[in-house]
């Protein structure tokens, strides 16, 4: 047992909740709220700025460009300076992006502001995961990670009916000014209440060894057995839920704007239920000897089945289907604590950052490519998009997920594999 883990075991549960899980959960709440809010304000952006489907996808995905592009630097910073300092600074960057987004006049200014929001949100989950590796005993980390992610589900929920209400009351620009103020407040709260990490975890490797570690991770065959499957499933889920789910519900199910927000709210509730359920079941099965990757595989297969149902356009089942989509879509999170165990705590931030780069890279690609494919069909008489365009674009990414699942099955690593033993 490391000294850091020993110190973590001495932290009381109330202190752990108030000074670790709560502040980092709030960060992930904001990260997912920013990520998903464009699904609700998309009609405003289309009408106010004059965007087509491809431009809407690219503008919304600018968040994902900033987010994915900062993951490797983020892992380095988290391992070197710790989650408290890094996350507080990043929140301030996100607040600056929110202000720019609120006052930008055209698509390029909006895209730049949203990219800054993505950079500022890049540590929303990874900083929490890093804090968990420092302060939570190894056997309970999957549950702790799921608790942080569950609050992200509240962020998605806030990006539905509450965001629609705020847009009506204050306009989408006014809403982003309010989000800026909340983001700054969370940054101050986190910096004041989160304890500094144990000195034993604060080693500062030289730059050469830092980048050597990234090379070790990206050249590891076990990483590449797991990462494509997780990236395609989790990334596609993010790309759809944070933008294209709303237009699908409008164009395929034929629902009005209020109903769209309500169904998106159900999907967000599904995310909340699913992340808690995933963490609890993984924790329970882990104590019975079932590995994290085995549990993850079962949940992700359920997610792929739900996507197949969506391709069949089950209009009468729309609320239930999108609830299930939200519930199973992020089961790939179980790979993060597994990778942290496999590579070791000293590489936890970088290994998770390397995986997250791929996840959000796929999220960006899916969000943009779906819009580009939809643009191949003319706008309908009602001003929406052709249902068949959703089938083609969603089906493309489901097919890619199936291929990565086969690749994963051909060499799935054992539950207790550690890199030091290979």
Instruction: Please give the model's pTM, rounded to 2 decimal places.
Output: 0.78
Written as six digits, the tokens of 251 are: 């164009």
For residues 148 and 21, is the Cβ–Cβ distance under 8 A? yes
Write the DSSP assignment of 209-235 as a string of letters: HHHHHHHHHHT-HHHHHHHHHHHHHHH
Task: Tell me the per-residue pLDDT of 25-75, one tens digit each, with 9 for 90 and over.
Answer: 999 999 989 988 888 898 888 888 888 888 888 888 899 889 888 887 887
Task: Tell me the per-residue pLDDT of 86-110, one tens digit each, with 9 for 90 and over.
Answer: 999 999 999 999 999 999 988 899 9
For residues 31 and 179, is the Cβ–Cβ distance under 8 A? no
Angstrom CA distances, 179 to 73, 116, 195, stand at 25, 14, 26
**According to the model, what pLDDT value does residue 1 have?**
39
Task: Tell me the per-residue pLDDT of 165-192, one tens digit each, with 9 for 90 and over.
Answer: 999 999 999 999 999 999 999 999 999 9
Alpha helices in 312-347 (DSSP H): 318-328, 335-343
Q: CA 358 to CA 352: how far, in whole Å? A: 10
Angstrom CA distances, 261 to 39, 40, 48, 55, 248, stand at 9, 7, 20, 22, 12
**According to the model, what pLDDT value does residue 9 have?**
47
Written as six digits, the tokens of 160 are: 């539905």
pLDDT > 80? residue 5: no
Q: Longest C-alpha distance within the chain, in Å?
A: 65
**pLDDT above 70 coverage of the chain, percent:** 91
Q: CA 93 to CA 75: how far, in whole Å? A: 17
For residues 392 and 373, is the Cβ–Cβ distance under 8 A? yes
Task: Find all residues with CB under 8 Å of 92, minimum gap 6, and list them.
Answer: 120, 183, 184, 187
């Amino acid at each position: 047992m490391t000294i850091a883990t020993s110190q973590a075991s001495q932290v009381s549960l109330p202190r752990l909740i108030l000074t670790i899980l709560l502040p980092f959960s709030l960060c992930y709440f904001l990260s997912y709220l920013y990520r998903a809010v464009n699904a609700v304000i998309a009609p405003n952006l289309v009408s106010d700025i004059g965007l087509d489907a491809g431009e809407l996808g690219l503008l919304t995905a600018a968040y994902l460009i900033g987010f994915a592009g900062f993951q490797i630097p983020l892992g380095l910073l988290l391992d070197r300076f710790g989650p408290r300092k890094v996350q507080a600074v990043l929140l301030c960057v996100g607040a600056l992006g929110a202000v720019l987004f609120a006052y930008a006049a055209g698509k390029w200014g909006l895209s730049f502001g949203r990219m800054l929001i993505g950079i500022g949100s890049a540590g929303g989950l990874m900083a929490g995961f890093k804090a968990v590796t420092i302060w939570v005993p190894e056997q309970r980390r999957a549950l702790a990670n799921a608790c942080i992610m569950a609050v992200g589900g509240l962020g998605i929920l806030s990006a539905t009916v509450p965001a629609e209400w705020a847009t009506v009351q204050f306009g989408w620009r006014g809403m982003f000014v309010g989000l800026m103020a909340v983001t700054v407040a969370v940054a101050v709260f986190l910096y004041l209440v989160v304890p500094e990490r144990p000195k034993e975890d604060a080693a500062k490797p030289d730059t050469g060894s830092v980048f050597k570690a990234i090379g070790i991770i990206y050249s590891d065959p076990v990483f590449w057995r797991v990462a494509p499957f997780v990236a395609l499933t989790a990334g596609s889920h993010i790309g759809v839920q944070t933008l294209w789910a709303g237009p699908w519900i409008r164009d395929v199910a034929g629902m009005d704007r209020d109903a769209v927000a309500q169904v998106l709210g159900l999907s967000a509730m599904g995310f909340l239920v699913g992340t808690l359920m995933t963490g609890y079941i993984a924790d329970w099965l882990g104590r019975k000897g079932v590995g994290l990757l085995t549990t993850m595989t079962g949940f992700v297969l359920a997610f792929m089945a739900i996507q197949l149902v969506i391709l069949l356009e089950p209009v009468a089942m729309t609320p239930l289907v999108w609830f299930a989509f939200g519930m199973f879509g992020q089961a790939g999170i179980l790979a993060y604590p597994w990778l942290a165990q496999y590579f070791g705590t000293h590489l936890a931030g970088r290994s998770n950052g390397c995986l997250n780069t791929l996840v959000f890279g796929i999220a960006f690609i899916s969000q943009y490519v779906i819009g580009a494919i939809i643009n191949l069909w003319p706008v309908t008489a009602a001003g929406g998009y052709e249902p068949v365009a959703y089938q083609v674009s969603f089906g493309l990414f489901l097919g890619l997920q199936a291929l990565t699942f086969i690749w994963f099955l051909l060499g799935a690593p054992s539950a207790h594999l550690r890199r030091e033993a290979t």
